[in-house]
Amino acid sequence: MSKGDRRSGFKWLLILSAFLLLPLLLYLGSWQLDRAAEKEQLLNAWNDDSVVVTKLSQLHDFGDRKLLQARLEGELLPGQWLLLDNRTRGGYAGYELIGLLQTSQGSALLPVNLGWIQASPDRSRLPSIELPELPSAFSGRMHPIEPAFVLAQDAWSSGWPLRVQTLDVDRLQSVIQQPVLPWVLEVVEPVDKRLTTDWPLASLKPERHLGYAVQWFAMAIALFILLLWYWRNTLCKGVND
């Protein structure tokens, strides 16, 4: 390859970088800033104790808030448990134990996440759910049930407890023949010593998203400087010629 061909190839590489790579780097940096803002809002909501839900009817009063503190009274349906599969803690596989809370405010049930329980090495053996006398009030944080992506069809087990991959409200309603609210309450205090309630607020803190944003913007600035240097050198060479 001649020297002229190499220069021409480098020129087109820079042009492609200017039109493709530079906007992509700027987009990724902006996306990380948006993610940092979202996590900051979640943290603020997590620590906000100015509003506490004590009645399910209050859920209609909070608009699009995604995280609410709650203290609700009621009884969990006996024997009707869901085991939310593929949940890990400390490198161990397990389940999150979901009960269905019946309050005195209507027929709609509220899923209550009682915590994480370790699974048996034998996948065919489900953990025995023998809980002590359950409390009549449950405190924690509520958030809407979001649709989840699964790699394969979520085949629910027959009978109770139900081993599920996701909380599918519509499907659950068809099984129990009662309305189910599209919210879940994650309790703060475990009702059994085998259950763990160290809920991760988010996989990344806002500071880490900000760090990623700085990296993307730094790469964009470096590329812009390279493009500017090449443009000036090319312009100066054209003037000298």
Residue 87 reports pLDDT greater than 70: yes
The residue extents of the domains of the chain are 3-43+205-240, 52-187
**DSSP code per residue over 1-19:** --HHHHHHHHHHHHHHIII
Give the pLDDT score at 154. 64
143 SS3 class: strand
- Residue type at 79 in one-letter notation: G
Q: Is residue 46 a contact partner of residue 201, using CB atoms and an 8 Å limit? A: yes
Tokens 């998203």 -> residue = 209
Tens-digit pLDDT profile for residues 44-59? 766 776 778 888 888 8
How many other C-beta atoms can be found within 10 angstroms of the C-beta atom of residue 144?
14
Q: What is the pTM of this model?
A: 0.71
What residue type is 232 in one-letter code?
A: R
Q: Which residues contact 33 (CB under 8 A, 6 or more apart)?
A: 209, 210, 213
